[in-house]
Structure 1
């Protein structure tokens, strides 16, 4: 583990780096304020190079990352756990790009993974739970629209006091992707109600 001050456009964080010795994958937690308390605002964010670094509009990941950091600073304390090895819901960058190519041909995000013979969602959240526990967190207010993420943290011993929506405005490029997340992956996306073709 290593930690250092990390100033960002959203505010100042303490970056705490972790190495998962089982997989060799590195993760980082961005900590703002005093988090050794009950029900701290927390985002468990899956690595998404295309959205987080390149600002792709194919997904809402980059927007969610920024919104989560802003919300944590506004709350005065909180944690963002950034999980590497989660690219493309755990299938890796090249496979994700292949899946995106299939989506250009009309498949949705779930169908594309299946067509490639890959899992629909291969992500594991045990590392996130271990990081939170190491930071002294036992209960979170989880910034997420994904009930499966909540269930995974509960399985790994992290109490979820509340699931806080992190809803981004849909765009032309990601509306089909968001629809598949709602209809096929059980994401809570009520803001899509009323959009033609999505009700």
Structure 2
């Protein structure tokens, strides 16, 4: 619990540069996702809520945040933006919602730190309505070479002090294995260890089609 408190304290400062680097890409992703007309949005691992600024008033916003030390900041940010917030307790591997309950799931920099990313992706798919979308932006494993070896070596330290963060996960492959349609791009950022990134939208099959 002490590590979670410490992480909640240092994370906003640590993430500020990353948010600046991905701001335009995030804005474009949310614009595409919101064009689908989602009425009920679930975010997994929202932290202090940087993504709330991309949501329009009127959506039903559900937030699943397992670190209780982010909750106060998340509530304050939602209130400042005039967004209704329903805070859910639990983990992405067991989302406390019925099947086909939401139109859009948002997850940015979260699948690196869940205990079981395969199960978390399956849960995201389960709670999405047919035709719904999963918006993701994640740092991922390098394809190989010395940089991948550096990620492997750094993973235990990152996991210990980064609230479970694993820089060596092949997250896009997990998403593609579960969703029939994935529109994604890979890109690099000028950051150590977590430079390779992927971002995009994954779509659940419409009703009546194979999932």
TM-score normalized with structure 1 length: 0.33
| Higher RCO by CA contacts (8 Å cutoff, separation 6 or greater) | 1
TM-score normalized with structure 2 length: 0.31
- Structure having the larger proportion of residues in helix: 2
